[in-house]
Structure 1
Amino acid sequence: MKEVKTLFKEQFENLGIIFRISRYSDKSQYQSHYLGLVWQYLYPLIQIAIYWLVFGIGLKSGNNMNGISYLPWMVIGYTVWFYMNRVTLDGSKSITSRVGMVSKMKFPMSVLPTIKLVSNLSSFWTMLVFSIFVGLLNGIYPSLMWIQWIYYFVAMLIFLLALGIFNSAVTILIRDWHIMLQSLMRVLFYMSGVLFNFETTAFPAPFVRLLQLNPFYYIISGFRESFLNETWFWDRPVLTLEFWAFTLFFLLVGSHLHYKFRSRFMDLI
């Protein structure tokens, strides 16, 4: 736990650096493109349109969403997934891709995954507003339950921080890890309930229960339950405990690996 406390202490002490580098990363990533930062918002919207056409209209997956139209149901899920997927993959290579910066500037390496977490927030906010707009067009209006999204947002940030610290350390120790992670995230995309609802009688109960262990599913379904006015998070205590158990595991193991090998990261890279 001492390493976890050190981890959070370094994040709070370097918030200024985190936000400054995040803004710089956003500008530098798209500076050679004609549309610039517009691509940060345009790409996910194009993906949403494709999935809606394929799954919502083509395969008609949206006919049974507990009375909710498929488009707002899918858009909320994809918004959360898109952010978590990008932060997870970017965070895993955050240290290896910033070797030059680390060697020239004086700040702890533990903030590098957090920089990726913050730099992707701008597109997340845009997509979240778009999700709410789509929901309003489909008759989904604000209620007291909407305040619950704050809990899931904080839970998502803590989970992604833990996952980023873990993956960034393992990527340095095992160079194939990032490639394996990319493949794993492709599988998790379909196993996290982003495009279809697997909590139906069409799937065996043991299989559904296994998929519910996925922490990405917990966050995605949590945002949906908040904005679609379905369930409070304390109404599913088992899933909540399982999610925080996963988060604590990645925090403990990730921070241990990070601080144990941090002095050797430059040599290993």
Structure 2
Amino acid sequence: MSPGDLAAKYGLAVSGARPRLGEYVRQLWGHRHFIMAFSSAKLTAQYSQAKLGQIWQVATPLLNALIYFLIFGVILGASRGMEKDVYIPFLVTGIFVFTFTQSSVMAGVRAISGNLGLVRALHFPRASLPISFSIQQLQQLLYSMIVLVAIVMVTGSYPSLSWLLVIPALLLQFVFNVGLALIMARAGAKTPDLAQLMPFVMRTWMYASGVMFSIPVMLSDKPQWIADILMYNPAAVYMDLMRFALIDGYTAANLPDHVWATGLAWALLFGIGGFVYFWKAEERYGRG
């Protein structure tokens, strides 16, 4: 009798075999408490060795924003076309929102390769790890939003109905980030050296997404298709949605056409596609 016949006779199954997609989703839901606890623990431990502790969650992007303001806003004149009371929240919002995606990607690429001990020791849906890291970055962004709101108000934009648009904008970006983190987690599990390459990729993406400058203004003398490509890339779309929601002087005229539909399309494409892509390699994680 072959091993397959013996397994069928006694109802045995392959250890660590990939479940069906629907069953996999149910398993993830069953591990929701683990996912949330793991993300909270990682967030708490992130700056546990620093004297200022969790203050660095807000201080790091603020220091980045200050440096970019001095170099791009003051020295290089990247703020042209905007008043200072618009450019400052424009820049800070861009830094905070892009950092959300950047951190999710960097955490995702190490989600499996950096936690092999956990992956090999326990049986759980591996997607729990990149999802948990994305939730950790969302929690960190929510802390930073307190400072962002204060900066926006100091520069003259006060709470209005448009601020409610922050919720769907963040939700769309979170779904996009999770999908991208899942894709990078699978790629990083197979090629650990990818973690060394990603900082250069993310830096290039940041400069191409209009974090420090208005894409239409800076590229006004270039062919329109170049600006369109940059404005419709997902990082630029989610920054635009947040800027439109929070900054009074950043009107609909600054947004590309159908920006909400574009944000939804990116979220669904990467959220669903990234999840399925990760799931297809479920049984290979932690092996070899």
Structure 1-normalised TM-score? 0.87
Q: Deviations over 1:39-72 (max 9, x none)?
A: 2222222112111222222223224127853111
Matches of 1:65 and 1:4, distance apart in 2? 48
Q: Deviations over 1:172-209 (max 9, x none)?
A: 23344333433221101111110000112244311101
5 Å-filtered alignment, 1:234-245, equals 236-237=257-258, 239-245=259-265
Provide closer, same or farther for how the CA distance between residues 4 and 182 of structure 1 changes in structure 2, counting only shifts above 3 A. Answer: farther
Match of 1:227 in 2: 246
Greater Rg by CA: 2
Structure 1 residue 144 corresponds to structure 2 residue 165: no
Match of 2:45 in 1: 28
**Which stretches in structure 2 are left out of the alignment for 5+ residues?**
1-18
Matches of 1:44 and 1:33, distance apart in 2? 16
Matches of 1:245 and 1:118, distance apart in 2? 21
Letter in 2 for 1:227: L
Match of 1:254 in 2: 274
Q: Deviations over 1:116-149 (max 9, x none)?
A: 1122234312322212211111111122111111
Structure 2-normalised TM-score? 0.82
5 Å-filtered alignment, 1:171-250, equals 171-200=188-217, 201-229=220-248, 230-231=251-252, 236-237=257-258, 239-250=259-270
Matches of 1:172 and 1:186, distance apart in 2? 22
Match of 1:80 in 2: 97
149-158 or 24-33, which deviates more: 24-33
112-121 or 23-32, which deviates more: 23-32
Letter in 2 for 1:21: F
Structure 1 residue 264 corresponds to structure 2 residue 281: no
The secondary structure found in structure 1 opposite 2:252 is coil
Provide closer, same or farther for how the CA distance between residues 69 and 245 of structure 1 changes in structure 2, counting only shifts above 3 A. Answer: closer
Matches of 2:224 and 2:38, distance apart in 1? 46
Tell me by how many angstroms 1:4 deviates. Answer: 6.6
CA contact (8 A) 1:4 1:252 kept: no
Matches of 1:102 and 1:155, distance apart in 2? 29
5 Å-filtered alignment, 1:41-52, equals 41-52=58-69
CA contact (8 A) 2:237 2:262 kept: no
Match of 1:99 in 2: 116
Match of 2:12 in 1: none
Tell me by how many angstroms 1:253 deviates. Answer: 4.0
173-182 or 21-30, which deviates more: 173-182
Provide closer, same or farther for how the CA distance between residues 67 and 31 of structure 1 changes in structure 2, counting only shifts above 3 A. Answer: closer
Matches of 1:142 and 1:94, distance apart in 2? 37
Letter in 2 for 1:260: K
Structure 1 residue 120 corresponds to structure 2 residue 156: no
RMSD: 2.7
Provide closer, same or farther for how the CA distance between residues 5 and 54 of structure 1 changes in structure 2, counting only shifts above 3 A. Answer: farther
Letter in 1 for 2:277: L
Q: How many aligned residue pairs are there?
A: 266
